[in-house]
Structure 1
Amino acid sequence: MATSSPRSMPLFSQFVALFLLFGFGRPSLAGDPPLTLDYYKSSCPSVLEIVRKEMECAVLSNPRNAAFIIRLHFHDCFVQGCDGSVLLDDTVTLQGEKKAPPSINSLGGFRIVDRIKNMLESECPGIVSCADLLTIAARDATLLVGGPYWDVPLGRKDSRTASYEIATTIPTADESLPSIIAKFLYRGLSVTDMVALAGAHTVGMARCENFRARIYGDFEATSGMNPASEAYLGHLKSICPPIGGGNNNVTPMDFVTPDLFDNSFYQLLLQGEGLLNSDQEMYSSILAVQTREIVKKYAAEPLAFFQQFSESMVRMGNITNPESFVNGEVRRNCRFINTWAPEI
């Protein structure tokens, strides 16, 4: 995907086409039952402490676990709203979301969720939803690798359904900027939310398959190929050959501080060294009129990035699935609806 030329379809037409395409399964953004900060105050007062302790262990054992949990939360909220649907395994009567193309090789952290759920079921059986668990865990994951804190509104129910079809529409690494913007707008999230939430890539890893086109495409054009960029590109090509395999080889999306949640991700975009096409386009695309200025701001002002990331995570977490409030449940096992759940 070249950043030097726009797509053949006019920008307005791309937005219209995408809105028509995603005319199914859109989560409600208004009129949903309210979420509250003290939802578990009397029913499970230890919920925040339990999630925090388990996340501390997970991130201490492997900092990459923080990125896995943040990504899980994003994939959950982008499909049917934040309802735990991404956690469901396939059964004979349900096709889950885990094997959808944008998810099958990029999601992890399911065992961490299992451990947290087991602890919560021991302490407060049948009380804390998997959707709330994942939302809290994503906040704690961010905090544990140096990111900002925010209060998490709670009270979600777990969906008894999943949508493989909608999961295929998650933004991908080779997608155009207008397409990604349209997907965020459709879910009630702004362009500013999009740029801020992309900042989670500061602690993420990417597979060769997702950045091959970038490093054998327009990387030289965007970076200007100074000596440091040339060395970085050589390293990337050494772990990601143009042909012949290596699809599952991984590298940090922020090679400067890969285990620290900070704003260096945006600084790399200014240098033209973003790993993914979809990220670099926020700065280098000729269509990046608004996003370019936001990237510049976050690259220069880490506190502004932290504040907006916190606000955008709350906003994303508030995308709820109204169906889950009517027909949802609190799963005993996050991988199965309760009629299928094995005993813990």
Structure 2
Amino acid sequence: MTVAGTFAFVVWVARSLWRIAPTSGPWHIALTTVAICSVLAALTLFIPLGNALRIRTKISRAQAAGDITGVRKYASRFRTAAWLAVVSSFATICITLFVLFLMANNHAVQQTFFNPAMIGRSWLNVTKAFGENVMIALLSEIIVLVLGLLLALVRLAPGKVGRPISLVATAYIDIFRAVPAIIVIYLVGFGLPLAHIPLLSALGPMEFAILALSLTYSAYVAEVYRAGIQSVHYSQVAAARSLGFSHLATMRYVVVPQAVRRVIPPLLNDFIGLQKDTALVMVIGTVDAFNQAKIYASNYFNLSSVTVVAILFIIVTIPQTRFVDHLIDRDQRKLRGGS
């Protein structure tokens, strides 16, 4: 019943798409293609349903033959196939509801966010401006890697001698983790020029953006480094110190190399967040992709150019996310002794 209801719903949406599609042009091709693909995708729901029905027949035969082991085996497979059909139906309904949302108000939603003419007019300039976001992210990440490690080492400074600078590092980390990034960007971008600080006040919007993001994300990355350093068993520190290594030498040659390898996935997650937060630099006048898209949106009263920005961030971010997942899976396999 679930599969049949889903199929009927998809066919109804596809029929509606067919009816509202223009008689010619790119959207005629696009909407017609979506309608056909929707029906074909809905037809695939009958594959797990058919498997479930075949397995159910095998269960009946095993029961008739008194094969208890076979009944249990086929019953497990039947539950898997049935749940696969239900979950696939749910996923298909979600996608169909999104398509239905785009069709709302005589597909005004689609025209507002996915207007082909507007996308074609704006994508080149927006993509060029997106290079500013990438440059800000790359330079900030380099600074954050170094500054975050220094903050983590200073916060973990041992003994009474290290206590004062440890408190300073802790205060820095707590403050910049508490203040939203957009406020730091605003204060740095407008406050430093107003204060007329030598050298700093002469920087441009891009340099202010790099400075602000580096100050903010170094606090987050410092905590990631600290977690990695503290995950290294103290026996290794004790062994290094017994061999005559100083605290700094122990950190450099024994602890930090192991800690960095362990925290690569969370570091990449923080850098993905930093990359997305480069869109916030528009508040200080940096002509990044979002600012460029806003110019088109203001001139043409259409948000398709902003959709281009979203697509660019998706293209850059998703491969990194999958790479982080790969690293996490690899580490878990090593912990289980699988490789």
**Same-fold call, TM > 0.5?**
no
TM-score for both structures, normalised by structure 1: 0.21
TM-score for both structures, normalised by structure 2: 0.22
Answer 1 or 2: which has greater helix percent: 2
Who wins on radius of gyration, i.e. which is larger?
Answer: 2
Report 1 or 2 for greater relative contact order, CA contacts < 8 Å, sequence distance ≥ 6.
1
